[in-house]
Amino acid sequence: METKTMNIKVEKAKTSKIGQVDFNNLAFGNVFTDHMVVCNYKNGSWEVPEIVPYHPITLDPSAKIFHYGQSIFEGMKAYKDGNDDIWLFRPMDNCKRLNISAKRMAIPEIPEDYFMESLKALLKLEKDWIPQTPGSSLYIRPFIFASGNGFHASPADEYMFIIAFAPSGAYFSGKVKVLIEEKYSRSANGGVGFAKAGGNYAGQFYPTQLAVDKGYNQVIWTDDNTHEYIEEAGAMNIFVRINDTLLTAPTSDRILDGITRRSILKIAESEGIPVEERKIAVSELIKAAKDGSLKEMFGAGTAAVISPISTFGFRDVDYDLPETPNSYAALFKKCITDIQYNRAEDNFGWRLKV
Ligand SMILES: *Cc1c(COP(=O)(O)O)cnc(C)c1O
């Protein structure tokens, strides 16, 4: 991809909101920093990104995002260590995946240096917003949507790329109770399940609410064709431990290629843990739950890193998972967060200093 030398213009906010923020009581994603990156696509190309005060944006009612849902995003985090150094975790993977999503949704790809350089410039400007209490981080939300106008059902001719930051507290990772879904699908062969497209989330909300109404926290998605194989845990990748083998569904059109998932597979390999990337049948899970070989299940994604599952429900029967000593979930979470917060050697080359 073409590299341009970039002079990112910065328009500073007149006042900072940072004094109004209680950094000891941060929830997830509802407080935003003083500035954001804005980059416009017009006349067939991306303009140079700028940093401007965080502000609401105005769109025409005919903007295509509202009608045809051309909208994609990424989720990543910045971490501060004890020396006030700022770290990112595998940021190029997010940049590349944003462009994979862009291609599928007929959105023009963002030049990689526009993404990386504007992100780093915004992080340097907002460094005081990166919380340092244990487990907290700065959540980063890069996104692109169709800002161009017109009711005609075709790709827009204008887009906006924005990066916004939300300081976030330690993600509550109590164990979750999940329901294996047999009616609704998150994604289908040939569809957009592998893209981080806003519409994938919209389609999940209703079935998830039905599961919540039944007393579950989250849905386990199964394949759209047979509903016999588990694929993802809500908006996280799914892992299962049977005896000492770690299983996860293979990525496909239907499954998002998670960076946490990829990291877990690498760590498992380096720890000598047997791994199988293959289809996992619901019937196999139930058999393993009954004979005691099912040791752990967990979701994996940037927000919670690892989300352990306590119980799965299937056809009105709940199956409880045991408390497993030396759990893989705890091992992977420690390994990943130690690298993220610069507490351990980064043998994989995943960390990037800003
Ligand atoms: C974002 C996401 C994940 C997790 O990806 P990470 O890169 O690990 O954050 C998994 N599944 C879905 C559907 C997602 O949207």
CA dihedral 159, 161, 166, 172 (to 10 degrees): 80
Distance from first CA to last CA of the chain, Å, rounded?
Answer: 22
> Domain 176-340 classified CATH 3.20.10.10?
yes
Looking at the predicted structure, is the pLDDT value of residue 352 above 70?
Answer: yes
Q: What are phi and psi of 201, to 5 degrees?
A: -75, -45
CA of 196, closest atom in ligand 1: 15
- Ligand 1 centroid–CA 303 distance in Å is 9
The string of pLDDT tens digits covering residues 310-329 is 999 999 999 999 999 999 99
CA-CA distances (angstroms) from residue 163 to 140, 216, 253, 277? 7, 33, 26, 33
**Domain spans of the chain, in order of start:** 2-168, 176-340
CA of 234, closest atom in ligand 1: 13
Q: Which tokens in the block code for residue 178? A: 């999940």
CA of 74, closest atom in ligand 1: 1
Does 187 sit in the ligand 1 pocket, CB within 6 Å?
Answer: no
Q: Which residue has its alpha carbon closest to ligand 1 atom 5?
A: 258
- Ligand 1 centroid–CA 236 distance in Å is 5
CA-CA distances (angstroms) from residue 178 to 245, 286, 290, 292? 21, 14, 17, 19
Angle at CA 190, nearest 5°, toward 162 and 160? 15
Looking at the predicted structure, is the pLDDT value of residue 77 above 60?
Answer: yes
What is the C-alpha to C-alpha distance for residues 110 and 46, in angstroms, rounded to an integer? 7
With cut-offs at 50, 70 and 90, classify the pLDDT of residue 262. Answer: very high
What is the C-alpha to C-alpha distance for residues 187 and 231, in angstroms, rounded to an integer? 10
Does 255 sit in the ligand 1 pocket, CB within 6 Å?
Answer: no
Does 179 sit in the ligand 1 pocket, CB within 6 Å?
Answer: no
Contact 296, 321 (CB under 8 A): yes
DSSP string, 25-47: S--SS----SEEEEEEEETTEEP
2-168 adopts what CATH topology?
D-amino Acid Aminotransferase; Chain A, domain 1 (3.30.470)
Q: Which tokens in the block code for residue 249? A: 């569904």
Does 199 sit in the ligand 1 pocket, CB within 6 Å?
Answer: no
5 HSE (CA, 13 A, CB side): 0
Does 218 sit in the ligand 1 pocket, CB within 6 Å?
Answer: no
Instruction: Read off the amino acid at residue 92.
Output: M
pTM > 0.85: yes or no: yes
The string of pLDDT tens digits covering residues 152-204 is 999 999 999 999 999 998 876 678 999 999 999 999 999 999 999 999 999 99
Does 203 sit in the ligand 1 pocket, CB within 6 Å?
Answer: no
The string of pLDDT tens digits covering residues 326-346 is 999 999 999 999 999 999 999
Distance of CA 291 to the CA centre of its chain: 34
DSSP 8-state symbol, 129? G
Q: Which residue has its alpha carbon closest to ligand 1 atom 10?
A: 236
DSSP 8-state symbol, 115? H
